[in-house]
């Protein structure tokens, strides 16, 4: 969503219709750059002011956010001066992304006073400045010292000055507009870049919309256009702004920008609330996913290192039988070793009496050389007895972690992520953050309600979205005659087809469930995927006892194309 001066203009118009004369009930700051103002104006509203550099905006919302126990200083200042006050005016400055909200407050002597919040939604320069009736700064969200900016200082007790801006199109006549184009030094600049650089509040999205309405390409140089075309652009910009005044505009669902001169009942604030609420949920989900994957990859990296050591040990153990044979052959030929030598060739009675050369240590006696090989054999035998099950254990653990990573990547809501986080804490892959621990709800949501559910040809199909759900599907929900499906040799969801009869499940139902299993696996982008399936009674918990890991027998395989 492009939040430019035109969108700011539309928001300002709607704020005037909805919250003018509203009373300020409460002010909070969910973060250091966000301000929530709770207003009653016939009904309750939350005015959200966000000065984050990447998402500066202002709009009305229904979404409440939790605030820190200790509010920031700026929040305390606003509470002191504005709680209980009345909104008397909302205006936009020169069609730019600057909104001023005026409040009627009372002094300690009960005299009426005007104080204002000036919200500057300007990328990394975004700020919220609180001023008195003489435009003296009381405080600001960000303090801008001369060291930070030599152009404009924003500090308490200084006079507020507006940022340096461009021209206001609303105050530009046709003749001034045409003269400015004619006097432009760079006549090869595109018409879109010229308008954006010359006037406040114009974004590429807005200008593209205007130029397309008059059939002019956005990259067209200004020196190739004639006066009639310039005037057409001017008129269409004026008409677009008038359509906002007359509430004749919509928001395009694809471009997420305004469409002008059309009848629509869409509220700009309602759209922004829905859009930014969903966007924030997506960002929160992505942050949770990235954090968990980063944490679990640390464990995976450590396990891979241990697995390499185990494999190296097993590779070394491949020589242990040779050391045993060397020891036995040396013991059988001690009588031949009268002088110290670096090797001896003897007949290997384990291999049809073929000659074999055995390396020797000159510093050791023949008997000591023999014992040296027996000790090497014994050591490697012990290493082998430890490393072989250790390798299998590590491989199972890495397989489990891969299934966790797949589950995290497949999550589409925070509840599923929290389930996985709980599982990882239980399995001791990550630590619980005691400082953020909240009161847990004693009534846990039934896992079955969280499962993805499909129906096909009268059969019910359940899909697990994480290992806890997979565990539930395979060992609690599934009955002996139900059909269990899973992608072959890759992480994926467990799928079951419920079968309450003794009649075999039709092939087309199995194929449909197999496509679901393929689509809920790491191989979902492959053209063909092998899916194993068997009755639930043949699915057993894995010896490692890790959630979601199973062993299965008596299975068949079907090859399908993911949905």
Residue 558 and residue 563: Cα distance in Å, rounded? 15
91 vs 343, higher pLDDT: 91
Contacts of residue 269, Cβ cutoff 8 Å, sequence gap at least 6: 11, 14, 15, 18, 59, 60, 61
**What's the pLDDT tens digit per position in 292-331?**
999 999 999 999 999 999 999 999 999 899 999 999 999 9
Binning pLDDT at 50, 70 and 90, where does residue 445 land?
low
Binning pLDDT at 50, 70 and 90, where does residue 440 land?
very low
Phi, psi of 488 (to 5 degrees): -80, 125
Binning pLDDT at 50, 70 and 90, where does residue 448 land?
confident
Burial of 316 (0-12, 13-18, 19+ CB in 10 A): middle
> Could you tell me how far CA 129 lies from the centroid of its own chain?
32
pTM: 0.75
DSSP state of 504: P
With a cut of 60, say whether residue 435 has pLDDT above it: no
CA-atom Rg of the chain in angstroms: 37
- Contact between 48 and 60 under an 8 Å Cβ cutoff? The reply is yes
The whole-number pLDDT of residue 212 equals 94
- 312 CB-side CA count, 13 A: 6
Residue 497 and residue 511: Cα distance in Å, rounded? 11
- Contact between 240 and 210 under an 8 Å Cβ cutoff? The reply is yes
With a cut of 60, say whether residue 110 has pLDDT above it: yes
With a cut of 60, say whether residue 437 has pLDDT above it: no
With a cut of 70, say whether residue 443 has pLDDT above it: no
């Amino acid at each position: 969503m492009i939040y430019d001066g035109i969108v700011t203009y539309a928001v300002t118009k709607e704020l005037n219709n909805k919250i003018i004369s509203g009373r300020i009930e409460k002010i909070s700051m969910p973060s250091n750059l966000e301000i929530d103002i709770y207003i009653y104006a016939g009904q309750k509203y939350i005015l959200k002011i966000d000065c984050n550099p990447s998402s500066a905006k202002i709009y009305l919302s229904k979404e409440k956010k939790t605030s820190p126990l200790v509010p920031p200083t700026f929040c305390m200042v606003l509470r002191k001066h504005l709680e209980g006050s009345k909104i008397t005016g909302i205006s936009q400055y020169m069609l730019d992304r600057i909104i001023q909200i005026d409040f009627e407050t009372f002094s300690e002597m009960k005299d009426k006073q005007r104080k204002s919040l000036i919200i500057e939604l300007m990328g990394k320069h975004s700020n919220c400045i609180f001023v008195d009736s003489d435009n003296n700064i009381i405080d600001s969200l960000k303090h801008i010292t001369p060291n930070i900016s030599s152009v404009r200082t924003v500090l308490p007790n200084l006079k507020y000055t507006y940022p340096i801006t461009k021209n206001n199109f609303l105050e530009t006549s046709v003749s001034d507009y045409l003269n400015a184009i004619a006097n432009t030094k760079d006549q090869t600049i595109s018409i879109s870049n010229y308008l954006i650089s010359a006037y406040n509040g114009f974004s590429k999205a807005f200008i593209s919309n205007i130029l397309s309405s008059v059939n002019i390409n956005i990259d067209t140089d200004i020196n190739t256009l004639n006066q009639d075309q310039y005037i057409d652009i001017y008129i269409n910009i004026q008409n677009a702004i008038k359509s906002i005044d007359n509430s004749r505009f919509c928001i395009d669902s694809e471009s997420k920008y305004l469409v002008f001169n059309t009848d629509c009942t869409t509220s700009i604030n309602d759209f922004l609330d829905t859009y930014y609420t969903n966007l924030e949920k997506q960002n929160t989900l992505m942050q949770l996913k990235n954090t968990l994957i980063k944490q679990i990859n640390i464990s995976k990296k450590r396990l891979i290192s241990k697995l390499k050591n185990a494999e190296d040990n097993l590779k070394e153990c491949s020589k242990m039988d040779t050391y045993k044979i060397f020891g036995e052959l040396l013991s059988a030929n001690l009588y031949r070793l009268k002088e110290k030598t670096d090797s001896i060739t003897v007949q290997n009675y384990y291999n049809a009496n073929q000659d074999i050369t055995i390396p020797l240590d000159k510093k050791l006696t023949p008997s000591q050389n023999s014992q040296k090989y027996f000790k090497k054999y014994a050591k490697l035998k012990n290493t082998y007895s430890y490393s072989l099950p250790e390798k299998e254990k590590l491989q199972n653990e890495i397989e489990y972690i891969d299934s966790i990573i797949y589950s995290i990547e497949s999550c589409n809501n925070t509840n599923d992520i929290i389930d996985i986080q709980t599982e990882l804490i239980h399995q001791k892959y990550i630590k619980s953050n005691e400082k953020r621990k909240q009161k847990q709800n004693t009534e846990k949501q039934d896992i079955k309600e969280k499962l993805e559910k499909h129906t096909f040809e009268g059969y019910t199909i359940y899909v697990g979205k994480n290992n806890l759900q997979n565990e539930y599907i395979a060992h609690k929900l599934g009955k002996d005659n139900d059909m269990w499906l899973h992608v072959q040799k890759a992480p994926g969801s467990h799928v079951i087809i419920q079968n309450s009869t003794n009649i075999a499940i039709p092939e087309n139902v199995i194929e449909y469930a197999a496509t679901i299993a393929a689509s809920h696996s790491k191989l979902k982008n492959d053209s063909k995927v092998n899916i194993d399936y068997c009755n639930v009674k043949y699915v057993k918990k894995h010896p490692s006892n890790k959630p979601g890991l199973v062993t299965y027998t008596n299975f068949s395989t079907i090859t399908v194309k993911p949905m």
